[in-house]
Amino acid sequence: MSIKDKKIQKNISIGEFMVIGHRGARAYAPENTVPSFEKGIKCKANMIEFDIRLTKDGHIVVMHDATVNRTTNGTGLVSQLTLKQIKDLDAGAWFSPKFKGTKVPTLGEAIAVIKGKAKFDIEIKKEPHSNDAIEEKLVEEIFKNNILEDTVVISFNSSSLERVKEIEPRVKIGFLISRNYDFEQGLRETLHIKGEAIHPEYHLLNAHLVSEAHKKGILVRPWNPNDKEEMNKLIEMGVDGIGTDFPDILRLLAESSSSFK
């Protein structure tokens, strides 16, 4: 079934709509950790989003921020810390005492938890003008773990996504854009880098823009509404998935929506 068929005619099944757990299930567990991924799966997310960065000694870890300061009991740039130094940190106690002792996962550990239970929405994080090899290492891990068909690589950095496509054209990519970025400009950039999806901040969307993207063969997966009314608006626009901190609520709304009947 083509994108046009499933969206313009409104006959998509719920199995094709991506309930995307943002950093796992960020509302219920410390973001970007194994407990958060497990909770996202329990909330019936069929895609889990998480962020990756490269350590000083060349390992991929799951971390949103450039520093470990906000989500661990440590300090410092991820890029200036070794894997061992990061693994020694507590990544759960800041969220709740019951998560004390939770560790920052590696990419491989994240894949092991999610594989076979949900698809992957992997966001590359890297500093501007960085020439690290995170794209090469990520593609290697995708093939090592046999998750090519279940993975979309996303980023705000179109050059990073373009590099992923250069390494392996079969890897699906999605261009992230925030509210200070024009959607139509973002759509042009998505097409330029041969992307399969655009992931806009949800405030940017209306039904016309969703339709325009679909006409060009591009999937639309906005992020990250946490309000039921906003989720419902997006579902009715015909988007292909939504990222949220509350995947359980989104799942219930999507399953009850007339758009999927």
CA 99, 101, 107, 111 dihedral sign is: negative
Taking CA atoms, 114 is separated from 50, 109, 240, in Å, by: 11, 9, 21
Catalytic residue among 64, 129, 203, 214: 64
Maximum alpha-carbon separation in the chain: 52
Whether the CB-CB separation of 102 and 33 falls below 8 Å is answered with yes
Can you tell me the distance from the alpha carbon of 117 to that of 19, in angstroms, rounded to the nearest whole number? 13
Alpha-helical segments (H) within the chain = 3-8, 34-42, 83-87, 107-114, 134-144, 158-167, 183-192, 207-215, 228-237, 247-256
Distance in angstroms (rounded) separating the CA atoms of residues 102 and 56:
21
In single-letter form, the type of residue at position 60 comes to: I
Instruction: State yes or no: is 22 an active-site residue.
Output: yes
Q: Is 59 a catalytic residue?
A: no
Amino acid (1-letter code) at residue 99: F
The span from the CA of 93 to the CA of 97, in Å, is 5
Cβ–Cβ contacts within 10 Å for residue 82, how many?
A: 13
| Residue type, position 177, single letter | I
Helix ranges (H only) for 49-133 are 83-87, 107-114
Residues marked active site are found at: 22, 64
